[in-house]
Amino acid sequence: MTAHTLRYYERVGLIQPVGRASNGHRRYSDADECWIQFLHCMRATNMPIREMQRYAELREQGDSTSLERRKILEDHQQEIAAQIVQLQQAHAVLTHKIANYRKIEQRIRIGGPILPESELGEQEEDCTCSLASAS
């Protein structure tokens, strides 16, 4: 994670200010590093900063907020699951299209007739890709 990101996370309250070494570098504890890795993971899965802030606020309040934190994570997990389905669909469409182009290239190499994609077995249902936002 970049220094810029760490400073931003500190500024928006996702991480608490930490001590500094004599050279001015931040000194993170093992617990800080685990928390930072968790934040990095949540951002990598497109959790909104505001949702991360809400989670961080609840975390600071201790175990009494575990139900709310679990709910936040379960909701995010459902969003990730929906994204995975969409990505799998997109992957299948791409796999199909790539296979069609390989067929075209093979026909060109052997001097066969060049057929339109529709004659290579492309089906209407294989051509759709729904990548709408899950949020």
Nearest in space to 92 (alpha carbons), one of 116, 125, 44? 125
- Over range 60-64, report the average pLDDT: 97
- The token pair that represents 60 in the structure block: 């600071």
User: What is the tens place of the pLDDT at every residue in 118-129?
Assistant: 655 555 445 555
Q: Which tens digits make up the pLDDT trace of 78-110?
A: 999 999 999 999 999 999 999 999 988 888 888
Domain extents for the chain? 1-18+26-60
Distance CA 119, CA 135 (A): 38
